[in-house]
Chains A and B, each alone.
Chain A
Amino acid sequence: MATVDTAATEAAAPQRRRLVARPSTWVVWALVAAFFIFLIGILVSVLVDSFGRRWFGGWLPEEFTADWYAEAWDRFNMTHVIGVTVGVGVTVVVISVLIGVPAAYLLARRNFPGKQLITLLFLLPIIIPPITYGIPLATVMYNVGLGRTLVAVVLVNLVPSVPFVIMTMTPFIEQINPSIESAARMCGARMKDVFLRILGPLLVPGILAAAILVLVRTVGMFELTFLVSGPPTDTLVVAIYRAMTAAGGGEARSLISAMAVVYTVTMLIILIVALRFVNPTQLVARVPETRDD
């Protein structure tokens, strides 16, 4: 990566950039390097631990084994937990897209009295800490008898997901020229046709990006799920947390590592699928890719 070109600032200089970098460059690379050392260290040490036996100090465990995975499956019913995790994730994605996209369309296209209030209403669940509304929400869930059910897990996860879909889709819809819709209507298309034949296909990339983000967030969502789920309805993160904090000092470290690896692999599969469709920068903000110089 020595050919980094910061040339937006030095576009005038035609020659290759000097490899003798300024101190600021060193600081930046040191930061990035430190970050990656931690990141890779964390990932690899969990991976090694999950296959290791008797790892006390030293660089590597004394023995390697795949037993921890077998034990995780035996003790924690991992197939069921993964099933719950993926099932909850997909359900939340489908519902939040169905509810969120029409609302995003309206916010992007129309002006009406109270629009700012509605926008604030959708913004609040994103900025307020999950615990703050999660605890009263969980109390309500237990009161109406939904505690520890899958329905409750899905419902609490929808609370931040629906606004999230609205907030990511609104700018996406705004960038589609409204006269394309007008043109379709002038061609004789009814509103239903406009949505199915014109907007639908144009919105697919945005919906995919939003859906993937919601899936990643839901699978990774600890706080809300934890408040309403019970052992049979735990998602993977919650199951790991329970194993780590179980009374009596928690389960064997390597067993938890094995579960964590399963979690990471699940996430990676989602991520790899996701990155086939969307650019990582678009995951957090819908700003077009840097222009070509």
Chain B
Amino acid sequence: MATTPHAFETLKLTGLGRSFGGHAALAGLDLTIRAGEFIALLGPSGCGKSTALNCLAGLLPLTHGTITMDEKRIDTLSPEQRGFGMVFQNYALFPHMSVERNIAFGLQMRKVSRSETKRRVTEAIALVKLEAHAKKLPGQLSGGQQQRVAIARAIVLEPSLVLMDEPLSNLDAKLRLDMRTEIRRLHQSLGLTTIYVTHDQEEALSMADRLVVLREGRVQQVGTPEELHTAPVNWHVADFMGYRNLLDVTVTESGAEGVLVSNEDLHIRGTAVGGVTPGGAARLAIRPEDLRIASSEDTGDGLIVAEVAVVEYHGREFSVGATAKSGTTLYVRSELAPQPGDKVRLRVDPARALVFAADLDAAGEPVAQTALAGEAAT
């Protein structure tokens, strides 16, 4: 297939919003997408990411904001006029049409000539390696094959934008990895601008050029995978990015080389991220891989004492769940397997212990008042 001519330079979403009878499923989404980018919309279920995708596709009418493509407003166009391709979570293949006819459908709708249709369908089938199944009906294919058909059906139209709605979530783990590579390969070789919705942070990090993290309909952070991985802007994003240890702490001291935080179990130094004031409630976030079991020679400050409760084998490492004095469970990675019941001491690099404001508003900004102590999330 020839490289797709980009139909646009930039696609601009301004103040995009969608409410359902007063409830805002999506609000204030601003984003500028450059041609050829792979953008992932990431968030837990119900965060508005699918709403955003459907609004972009035109399947849901917007209630707020505009979408402009190179200065041309497109949010008033119907889905079939926007010329985007879409891949659905449940494949959404036409059950009564063969693989070939599924893929040819869009070309027929666009009145592409018969010979051209045949050529492009053949190319698309080759691209997703389904030559042997061209005449089969969707019901005769496996989940992975069905999703390939769905992808071929979307890209055969050489759309200016491909929208993918959790395309891998119905596949089993191994197939998911293969398809991830496959989608990335197609994106790179065809240069298709792609917006990809997922709830799987690993998937988003490994595939996307930029990530948009959503929560309760509001954008929390936009950034490259690296930015999100190392510098989440608030504890919601941190929680979602694999900071499994989220502890409620009080800030006791704040200085040039970080803040000192403490609670019943610990008294350690960390790195403050945004609006943390001494004496205020804060939330400490540490990745399991940044928390280590200290050796017996280590006798410095900032150790957390805990008792091993659960040990899981994870291939090269063990994942250890240890219970601290207050009953909080801390998750640690360890190369050696401790025994349940062992007393361990844990240490974290202050640069890797992020301290966030505990109370956030809907957009993820810290709330000045430290009032909502009970709003502790999952």
Contacts and interface: CB of A to CB of B under 8 A. Distances in A.
Interface of A: 177, 179-180, 182-190, 193, 197-198, 201-202
Contacts of A182: 54, 57, 59, 79, 86, 88, 92
Given A188-B83, A189-B105, 16 more contacts: A177-B92, A180-B93, A182-B88, A183-B86, A183-B93, A183-B94, A185-B78, A186-B154, A186-B163, A187-B80, A187-B153, A188-B110, A188-B157, A197-B105, A198-B94, A202-B95
Contacts of B316: none
Contacts of B95: 180, 202
B173 interface: no
A185 B59 CA distance: 8
B80 A179 contact: no
Interface of B: 54, 57-59, 78-80, 83-86, 88-90, 92-96, 105-106, 109-110, 150, 153-154, 157, 163
A200 to B, nearest CB: 10
A201 B98 CA distance: 13
A150 B84 CA distance: 52
A182 B154 CA distance: 12
19 contacts: A179-B89, A179-B90, A182-B54, A182-B57, A182-B92, A183-B92, A184-B94, A185-B58, A185-B59, A185-B78, A185-B79, A186-B80, A186-B86, A186-B163, A187-B109, A188-B106, A188-B157, A201-B96, A202-B96
Most chain A beta-carbon contacts within 10 A, residue among B78, B94, B153, B163: B94
A236 B86 CA distance: 55
A184 B85 contact: no
B106 A179 contact: no
Contacts, number: 65
A113 to B, nearest CB: 10
Nearest to A189: B109
A186 B85 contact: yes
A184 B105 contact: yes
Given A177-B90, A177-B92, A198-B94, A189 B59 contact: no
Nearest to B163: A186
A188 B80 contact: yes
Nearest to A183: B92
Contacts of A187: 80, 105-106, 109, 153, 157
A190 B92 CA distance: 17
